[in-house]
Structure formats: C-alpha cells, structure tokens
Amino acid sequence: MKIHLTCKESVELIVASEDRPLTGSERTALRFHLWMCRNCPKVEQQMQIIRRMLDRWKAPDETGK
Amino acid sequence: MVPRWHTRIHRLFACKMNRDELLAQLEKARPQLLKMARLQLRNDAWAEDVVSDTIVTAIEKLDAFEGRSQFRTWVVAILKHKILDLFRRAGREVALPDVPEDSIDEEIFLPGGGFREPPRAWADPQELVREHQFMAILDACVERMPTAQGRVFLMREWLGLDTAEICKDLGITTSNLFVTLHRARLRLRECIQVNWLEQAS
C-alpha cells in the first residue's frame, strides 16, 4: 500500500477497521494521513461516536434503557 | 412447625405469580421485538412470524428462565436465534446476488478522492438528554438504510455475527459483503451528519 492516501482512501480504511483488522502498512498509511489531514480526523471522531452509540443502541437492556 | 403441604402450596403459588408476571412482561416486550425483527428482516410478514414464534418458544421455555439475565435480554436472545435460523434456511433468497448500485462514495468524494464538502466535527453526546436525541437519530437512520445494506449491517451489529459467518449464511462473497458494509456505514454517517448537526445548532 502506498504511503500517501487520498481522503477517500483514508475514510475507506477508517470504515473498514470496524469490520476487519487493518494490515500494518494500512495502519501506517492511515496514521500518516490523519496526522497531516484537517478533515479525516473529524471523520474518525464521528465514527468513534457512532461506535460508542451503536454499542448502547444494540444492548438497551444491559444499559438499563 | 409449618406442615409440608403448606410450604408446597406456597411455593406453587409463588411460582404461578412469577409466571403471570413474566407473561405480562412478554406481552410488553412484543412491540420492541417486532421493531427489531422488522429492522433486521426488512419484511413485515417474516417479522410477524418470527416474533410469534419467539413468544411461543418463550412461553414453552418459561420454566427454563432462571432469572440470571434480564428477562428481556433472554427473550431477545431467543428472537435473534430464530432470525438467524431463518437466514440460514432462506439465505440465498434473502441475499443480494449483486451489490445494488449506491452512489454514496460519489456523494461524499470528488473524483480525485478529496471531500466535496469538508466534514465538520460532531458535538459529542455526553449528557444523557443529548444521548437520547442521538439515539433517536441513530434509530431513524438505521431504519432508512436500503434493504440489503440494512440487513447485512444489522447482522453484523445486532446479531453480532462476524463477517465470515455472514458470507456463509447469505452465500455472498467477502468483497460483496465489505462493499455493502462500507456503504451502509457511510450512509449511516451521512444521515447522522445531516440530522445531528441540525439538532446541534
């Protein structure tokens, strides 16, 4: 995998990491991109919020909703 | 000393009370079960069937409920089991032979791979009230997902299956599954983005 990702490729990896482990070089390329990009860290933050809320949403019983 | 028969009747009575209460809880849980079954199956007739089936099984097995978990959790587990059964029996019929067209990537990105519109940071729903608002949006957005995406997405997120299991149950290829999940997650994000930002401002 190349080291310079476009935002589209970077988002693809952020999203894919929900369903499969990223390879070492994918992780490196993603970290590098996130470090220099102004936009993609926001998508990463959004996906983290979605992850957290999805975990509650799917198990309302355990959280006492 | 309390006579034996007394203890026994007392126990029988307590047991019956418990049973009636559980039956009432079961009736109360029905709308929620139906909602989840509809979301997962995207077919009202199947959802009705599978929920009726779940309730019958729960009543039959009521004595097996030991109270170690919450009652609703126990019933939801039966429902999930029934739905999984249905997918395994009808997998190829409910699966998507081809990945349906979806332009979500083109809606978000320019041909060169940059954003059409830069994403904005979301307000983190820390407080309980905001969390409820976010949950309501999440709910509506999952409901709005296209059929195939919604099914696969909930198999992953609600039934809790891993990707290999989903491929096997639905008879689809790994790449089809990943494309579908990718689009489902992007659609969800896009839908929340629109609604959550409106709420936040």
The verdict on B72 touching A (C-beta cutoff 8 Å) is yes
**What rounded mean pLDDT belongs to chain B?**
86
Contact B190, B104 (CB under 8 A): yes
Q: Which of A6, A36, A44 to mutate to test the interface with B (most CBs of B within 10 A)?
A: A6
**Higher pLDDT, residue B105 or B17:** B105
Mean pLDDT, residues A1-12? 90
Contact B87, B151 (CB under 8 A): no
Residue ranges of A 36-65 with Cβ closer than 8 A to chain B: 38-39, 42-43, 45-47, 49-50, 53-54, 56-58, 61-62
Reference B119, options B197, B179, B185; nearest CA is: B197
Give the C-alpha separation, B5 to B113, whole Å: 79
Indicate if the pLDDT at residue B177 is higher than 80: yes
Q: Which residues of A touch B156 (CB under 8 A)?
A: 19
Residue A63: predicted pLDDT: 44
Alpha helix positions (H), chain B: 4-41, 44-60, 71-94, 104-108, 128-144, 147-157, 163-170, 174-200
Indicate if the pLDDT at residue B193 is higher than 80: yes
Percent of chain A with pLDDT over 90: 78
Give the C-alpha separation, A54 to B163, whole Å: 17
Q: Which residues of A touch B139 (CB under 8 A)?
A: 57
Indicate the pLDDT class of residue A64, thresholds 50, 70 and 90: very low
Residue type, A1: M
pLDDT per residue over B37-59, tens digit each? Answer: 999 999 999 999 999 999 999 98
Mean pLDDT, residues B157-170? 93
Mean pLDDT, residues B148-155? 93
Percent of chain A with pLDDT over 70: 89
**What rounded mean pLDDT belongs to chain A?**
90
- Closest residue, chain A, to B105 (C-alpha): A8
Indicate if the pLDDT at residue B35 is higher than 50: yes
Residue A65: predicted pLDDT: 39
Indicate the pLDDT class of residue B98, thresholds 50, 70 and 90: low
pLDDT per residue over A8-35, tens digit each? Answer: 999 999 999 999 999 999 999 999 999 9
CA distances from B7 to B17, B18, B109 (A): 15, 16, 72
The verdict on B31 touching A (C-beta cutoff 8 Å) is no
Of residues A6, A7, A46, nearest to B122 (C-beta): A46
**Higher pLDDT, residue B2 or A14:** A14
Q: To 10 degrees, what angle do helices B174-200 and A40-58 make?
A: 100
Cross-chain Cβ contact B157/A54 below 8 Å: yes
Percent of chain B with pLDDT over 90: 54
Contact A19, B181 (CB under 8 A): yes
